[in-house]
């Protein structure tokens, strides 16, 4: 499932309604990070592009809403990562940084990136990259 996260029910519902209008079934659920809309991964690329474009538009609205709430004090975005021991942690980012990440990477790709950083931080490999790659191939 591809997951899209929201912090406002109105925006989440707009996205879900748009997906359903395109004929894409979706699952709505609450998560520790926010409100999630999950859609199947096996939809065609045109539908994925349409959903991503719509999500980007709604992210602009979400950013504006967050800036307005509490006089603009809510200016953080977060991503959840799973530590090697199974614990979860939240990585807090400035919204502009989160938006830049999301413009290039999916949530799943960001998750993989953050999980790799967590593993490397907890189990540092202070060797040249070529040695690390050789050890992984062996």
Q: Which residues contact 80 (CB under 8 A, 6 or more apart)?
A: 32, 33, 88, 89, 90, 91, 111
| Position 132 confidence tier, pLDDT thresholds 50, 70, 90 | confident
117 and 99 in a common domain: yes
Which residue among 53, 75, 97 closes a domain?
Answer: 75
Q: What digits encode the pLDDT tens for the residues 40-57?
A: 989 998 999 999 999 988
In the block, tokens 């999980």 appear at: 115
Task: Tell me how many domains the chain contains.
Answer: 2
The tokens describing 109, both together, are 């790709």
Percent of the chain, pLDDT > 70?
90
Which residue among 75, 96, 114 closes a domain?
Answer: 75
50 and 10 in a common domain: yes
| Position 62 confidence tier, pLDDT thresholds 50, 70, 90 | confident
106 and 40 in a common domain: no
For the chain, helix, strand, coil in percent to 5 are: 55, 20, 25
135 and 67 in a common domain: no
Which residue among 35, 52, 75 closes a domain?
Answer: 75
């Amino acid at each position: 499932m591809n997951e899209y996260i929201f912090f406002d029910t109105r925006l989440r519902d707009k996205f879900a309604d748009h997906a359903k209008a395109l004929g894409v079934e979706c699952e709505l659920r609450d998560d520790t990070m926010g409100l999630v809309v999950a859609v199947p991964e096996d939809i065609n690329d045109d539908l994925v592009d349409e959903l991503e474009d719509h999500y980007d538009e709604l992210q602009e609205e979400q950013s504006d809403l967050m800036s307005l709430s509490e006089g603009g004090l809510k200016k953080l975005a977060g991503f959840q990562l799973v530590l090697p021991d199974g614990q979860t942690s939240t990585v807090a980012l400035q919204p502009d940084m989160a938006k830049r990440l999301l413009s290039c990477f999916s949530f799943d790709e960001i998750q993989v990136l953050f999980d790799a950083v967590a593993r490397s931080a907890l189990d540092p490999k202070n060797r040249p990259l070529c040695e690390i790659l050789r050890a992984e191939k062996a």
